Amino acid sequence: MNLGNLRRKIDGLDAKLVELVNRRLALAAEIGKIKRKTGGEIFVPEREDAVMRKVCAQNKGPIKNEALRAIYREIMSAAIALEKKKTVAAGHPDAAFYEGKVAAALFYARNVLPAVELKAKA
């Protein structure tokens, strides 16, 4: 098999991984709705531990369990972000200086909502 064929196979797997991660996160968002209605905790460390143990037990390599746990921590962090919206407030005496930095941070953290609008000093 040549390099192009191998890369096409990887591209196909990447597309499937993205689809599966999004399906998992959609289910997590539904769980979040149920938790908010019933007053349940959004982050349950015991559940995260159980998921980590399960995926590591299913791992047949070549990925090391440490790397697999790191991937799942990111997936679960994204799920928690969907389950619970976050609010961030920011302010500084020289808001004009920080306005761009806060805007950039908010752009990259789509699940973070600004608590206040920053105004530049006159």
User: Domains of the chain: which residue ranges?
Assistant: 3-84, 85-122
Sequence-distant (≥ 6) Cβ neighbours of residue 111 within 8 angstroms: 81, 82, 85, 86
pLDDT at 119: 52
Cα separation of 103 and 63, whole Å?
37
pLDDT at 42: 87
pLDDT at 82: 82
pLDDT at 85: 59
pLDDT at 108: 53
Superfamily covering domain 3-84:
Chorismate mutase (1.20.59.10)
Q: For the chain (length 122 residues), average pLDDT per consecutive 10?
A: 96 98 94 91 92 98 97 94 66 58 56 50 50
pTM greater than 0.85 (yes/no): no
